[in-house]
Structure 1
Amino acid sequence: MAIIKLSASERRRLSVFITCLVLALVAWVFATLSGKYNFTVKQTLVFKNAPQRRAFKALQPDTVEATMQGTGWEMVFSRMSMTNRPLTIDLHTLEHSNFIALNTQVAQINRKLDLDHKIIAFDPDTLYFDFTNRMVKKIRVEPVLKLQYQPQYANSDKIVVNPAYVTVNGPGNVIEKITSWKTDTLKMDHVNDHIKTTLPLQRAKEGNISVYPKTVRLFVPVEEFTEKTLKIPVRLINNPHYKNVKYFPQQITITFTTPLSHYTEVDEDFFEATADFSLWQQGYSVLPVNIIRMPAYCRIVKMQPRNVDFLVGK
C-alpha cells in the first residue's frame, strides 16, 4: 500500500484545514439548531373535573399528536423533557356539551407545563365522548396474593380485607358487569408470620370510572402447622328402603394438619364423615368415605380406609 509522506509544513496546513472544517461544521450545527421549528410529540392525556351528573366514555385513544414550536435544540430534547408528563385536560364543559375542543385549552396547558417550547396545536383537535347513565355500586374487593410460605407455615384463617367493599362510580352499562375489584399484587417469600399491610386498588382502565377508597387494609393470618391423627365415626346416608345394612369399619383414621394454636381443641366432634348408600344401586361394591364437615383451617393429609364395605340384610 502506498503511503503518502507529508512534510512538516504540509502536516501543519492539513491540521489547520481539518480544525477549520470541524469548527465550521460545529458552527453550522449550532446555527441550525438555534432556529425556530414546528415539531410533533405524541402525548398521553389525563382528565380532571369530570362531570358529576353524566357518565362518559372517550371515543378515541387517550393519546394525541401535539404540535410544538421551539428551537432545534428543544426539538432534539423534547422527548426527554416530555417523558412521563401527561397533559391534563379539563372536562368541566362536558356538563352541557358532548365534546372537548383541545385548542381552547392550549394556553392553560402551556402554563402548567412551564416549558421553553410551547404547544400550538393538537391532532386530533377535538375529543368526542359517548354518554350513558351514571351508576354507583358497592363492589367486593378481591385481594391478589402471591405468597410463598416457609415449610410448615400457611394461611390459618379467613383473610380479612377492610373495607371489604368499595364504591365504584361510572357508566351503568359498564358498572353492572363488574362483580369484584382487584388490589395490586402482594408478593412475598418465606412468610412465617401474620401479614398486616395496606394495598392500593388496581386503577380503572377507563377514565370515566372512579373508585373509593383507593386503598384497603389487609390481614392474612399465618401460623405454623403440625399434624394430628384422630378416629372419627362414619355415618351411612341415603338409606330410605333398606334398614338392615351393616357396614364396616364404622370408624376411619384421619391425619390432618392444624395450626398449633388449635391443636389441643380440635377433636372428632369437629369432623363429620359419611358414606352414601345410594351408590350401591349404581353398581358400587364398596362405598367411598367423604369428609363433609371440618374446620376451614385444617387440611386432610391421609385417610384410612378411604372406603367402607357393606352387607344388605333381607
Structure 2
Amino acid sequence: MIHVKDKGSVLLNYTLGRNLHPFEIDLKNLPVRKDALILENNEIYDELTKLLSVTTELLAFTPPRIRLRYNRRKEKELPVVFNGKVNLAPGFHPLGKTLVTPETVKVYGNPSLLDSLQSIETVFTEIKRTNKSVIRTVYLQKIKGIAVQPSAVTVTIPVEEFTDKTLEIPILPIDLPSHYTVRFFPPAVKVKCSIPLSRFKYLNEGDFAIRIPFSELTGNASGIVSVRLSEEPEQAYSVSLSPDKVEFILEQHSEHP
C-alpha cells in the first residue's frame, strides 16, 4: 500500500489504475541475508517514484522492506523412464523399444534431494488393445521440492502386426576334432517364430543357427542332446524348436591311419 499527495484528478487516475503498473526487480542484484533476498526501503522508494507523476509526492508505503525467502537449487540431468502398461490387440507386438523424447530432462532442487534421484518416471499410462503405433504426450511424475524442465515428454511405441513362419535349420557341430565325425537324427529341426509382417519375406534360414559344442557330445552315453538356437534375429518372438532334442552318433577315427 502506498500513500501519496497530489491534485484530485491525478489521484483519480491512480484510483482507476490507469497510471500504476507492477515494477520488476532483478533478483541477482539484491543483497543476500542468510536464506533470504532483501529489497531495501530506498530501492522500493526509487522504483515507486518512477511510476508516479512528477507532481506526486510519495508520503509512505508498506511494507517498508521486502524479504524474499529462497533456497539454493542444484541442476541435474536425468534419464526419463516410461512407466506404463501396453496391451496390444491379438496378433500385434511392439516393434523395438519404447522411445522417449527427450530422453533426458533437467531437474532443479535441493542438492541432497537431487543426489537421491537416478531417473524421472512418467505418470502411469495404460494403453489398451491397440493395433497401431502409439505417439502420446505424457507428463512426468511430480516430486515435492523438485522442478522439472520440460514437464512432459513424447512417448513413441512402434507396433506392427506379426505372423508365424517356420524354417528348417540344420544342426552343426562346433569344436569337433578332425578325427571325429558326428551324425544327428534328424539332421535339422523346425524353428517356428512370430515375426513382423513386413519382415516375412526377408526372414530365411541364414538368420538362425543351431551349433552344438563337441563338449556336449563326448562322454554323453545317452546319445541324445538338447538343441537350442545359437543365433536368432532380434525381432523374432515366441520361438519354438521341434524337436528340441535329437539323437546323435559320435564316431572316433584313428588320428594316424
- Do 2:84 and 2:124's aligned partners in 1 also have CA atoms closer than 8 Å? yes
* Greater fraction helix: 1
The one of 272, 289, 300 aligned to 2:209: 272
Aligned residues: 191
**1:244 and 2:180 aligned:** yes
| Map of 1:253 onto structure 2 | 190
Contact 1:168 1:212 in 2 (8 A): yes
Q: Unmatched 5+ residue regions in structure 2? A: 1-26, 37-69, 253-257
Deviation at 1:219, TM superposition (A): 1.1
* CA distance in structure 1 between the aligned counterparts of 2:112 and 2:170, rounded to whole angstroms: 53
Q: AA paired with 1:182?
A: E
Matches for 1:171-190 after TM superposition, within 5 Å: 171-190=110-129
Aligned pairs for 1:84-99 (under 5 A) are 96-97=34-35
CA distance in 2, matches of 1:95, 1:230: 76
Q: Which residue of 2 aligns with 1:158?
A: 97
Compare relative contact order (CA 8 Å, sep 6+) and give the higher one, 1 or 2: 2
Contact 1:277–1:287 (Cα < 8 Å) also in 2: no
- Determine the C-alpha separation between the residues in 1 that align with 2:183 and 2:113: 56
Residue 234 of structure 1: which of 147, 154, 171 is its match? Answer: 171
Query: What is the DSSP-based 3-state SS (H/G/I as helix, E as strand, rest coil) of the residue aligned with 1:202?
Result: coil
Partner of 1:70: none
Q: 1:195 aligns with which of 128, 134, 148?
A: 134
SS at match of 1:278: helix
The whole-number CA distance in structure 2 between the counterparts of 1:97 and 1:282 is: 77
Query: 1-side partners of 2:221 and 2:107: how far apart?
Result: 52
1:180 partner amino acid: S
Paired AA for residue 250 in structure 2: V
Distance 1:95 1:298 in 2: 64
Q: Deviations over 1:248-307 (max 9, x none)?
A: 134221111111111111112222323244345786843322223322221134311212
TM-score by length of 1: 0.51
Q: Verify the 8 A CA contact 1:136 1:170 in the aligned structure 2.
A: yes
Following superposition, the deviation at residue 146 of structure 1 comes to 1.5
Report the CA distance between 1:144 and its aligned residue.
1.8
Per the alignment, in what secondary structure is the counterpart of residue 291 of structure 1? Answer: coil
Kept in 2: contact 1:242–1:312 (CA 8 A): no
For structure 1, list consecutive stretches of 5 or more residues without a partner in the other structure. Answer: 1-50, 53-91, 99-128
- Separation in 1 of the partners of 2:77 and 2:230? 33
> Would the alpha carbon gap of residues 244 and 154 (structure 1) be closer, same or farther in structure 2, given more than 3 Å must change?
same
Written as runs of structure 1 = structure 2, the 5 A alignment for 1:22-171 is 96-97=34-35, 136-171=75-110
Q: Could you say what secondary structure the match of 2:83 adopts? A: strand
| Residues in 1 aligned to 2:76 and 2:198: alpha-carbon distance in whole angstroms | 39
Distance in 2 (alpha carbons) for counterparts of 1:97 and 1:278: 71
CA deviation digits over 1:193-245, x for unaligned, max 9? Answer: 111111111112x31x33222111111111111111111233334x3767514
